Structure 1
Amino acid sequence: METQHRLAPDKGEPLQDIQTYQRLMGKLIYLTVTRPDIVYAVHILTKYMQQPTTEHMTAVKHLLKYLAGNAGQGILLASKYAAQLTAYCDSDWASCAFSRRSTSGFCIMLGASPISWKTKKQSVVARSSAEAEYRDMALVSCEVTWLSTLLKDMGLHDLPPTVLNCDNQAALAIAANPVLHERTKHVEIDCHYIRDKVKAGEIKTKHVPSYAQVADVFTKQLTAKQHSYLLTKLGVCSLKPGGEVKREQLHYYILHCTKQEFVREFVSEFVAVS
């Protein structure tokens, strides 16, 4: 999404046919299973599924054109890296103009390839950016625990501690401090959970500079340059050689590489709305 483009419920005229918007969003949600680069945009656009406007449909078309130009974008599962989990987590603060709840985002890498990612609005209002980030750390820690158990069941034992990268120094200080202060006791459960994981040697927290925070892809509207840079670090790359992908190439790529009927319908609807 464009960095200066802010959507709101009252922008634009109400759509006469909201079913088209809803169908497109349903198929875009499915694409996020293998396209982490569109997760944040889809998260924003799904907020308006009940009462979409022309402004929201314009944003959907913008996203569809991005997909058409990057039809070969995908996840490369490289085999040359060690089997180690690395997590990145990030959160904005009070980004929702109506509820003032924060948005959490994380991704977990196996070697250099992403295997789990999510963008989610937090269930409570955070009173500081550190609190928002810390709740996000607790969220990704739960996912790391589940993935570690899954990998052990698959025979990958003796995994090294998962490195949890966060760009908020205050949140990292809370995780390292064994003493609960008055200002942090309302997040006591999250504090104890993360500290237990750190103490057990399952998770190792690490500060990462903001410019290299991969999880920004899931919580912020970025410039094209920064978005492309972080996608490279995330392990998302173009799997098709050559330059710009044309519409007929998009047809071939989806229809011949993915045989789901609804994906064919998605391509048809893309042609119709564009």
Structure 2
Amino acid sequence: MNKWKKELSFILALLMIAVLTACGSTGEETSSEQADAETEVNDEELTIGQINWAENIAVTNMWKAILEEKGYNVKLNVLNMGTTMKALESGELDASLEIWLPVQDANYLKEYKDSVNFSEATWYDNAKVGLVVPTYLEEVNSVEDLNEHKESFNGEITGFDPGAGTMEVTEQLIKDYNLEFELLPSSEPAMIAEIDKAIKNEEPIVAPLWSPHWVFSKYDLKFLEDPKKTFGGIEKIHHATRHGFEDDYPKVSEWFKNWKMDDQQIGQLIDYVESAENPLDGAKKWIEENQELVDEWVK
């Protein structure tokens, strides 16, 4: 009888060890599977090109905040437009969020249409580009008026980033209208600083600008008429991605295509990002106040 009890105890002990081992194994496997699933999301790094233009800084930081909330690791690479396109072609960059068509970035579309994916989807449909002057220059209302007032402007058009599509179109505009002007490249902040200085002193200045842009809410500026339509009419803003992006990031690819903003939304976003110490904080504040809209994009 004692021998039977001992054998039964031994069998029960073996069964208990087997059960505990099985439970432990299952727990380890579950934890391992969970870790793998988390790693799959968290290890995905997206690299987005950022150009130092007000609206570009705003939307790249907005998407960085949205995607990181979804578990992606997002890196913003600050590049100029020409380098951005080359990086998309080589695959060093995953996406660029600002391609102006049909006119401003037409040269890039022509050059890279076979090596970069230009999305047919647009996120802003009412963009405008052209030369602007302060509204107090009442006698200058058209590009055709510029030569007559060349001396007032010192024969200079204050420009921004060399290689930007709008800068190339401005060079074409100078040829189309036989303007006796030189386009001076710099950067967007430097160009805005020159506009600020001129307006404070009520001096003439002419520069290529675009809407949406916060500068129009700060200064009284007007677009010059462009009878030859060198700058085109209404521009639409698209995004572009490297080849293979849709296969690697199908969800993000779909979210980018769902993305739509109007004047008020982009204007408020730019304002929040511009006024924040950290652009990402400004973008997060905007997202928090516009969560329903963002949810429509990433549904």
The question of a shared fold, defined as TM-score above 0.5 by the shorter chain, is answered with no
- TM-score using structure 2 length: 0.23
Name the structure with the higher strand share.
2
Whose radius of gyration is greater, 1 or 2? 2
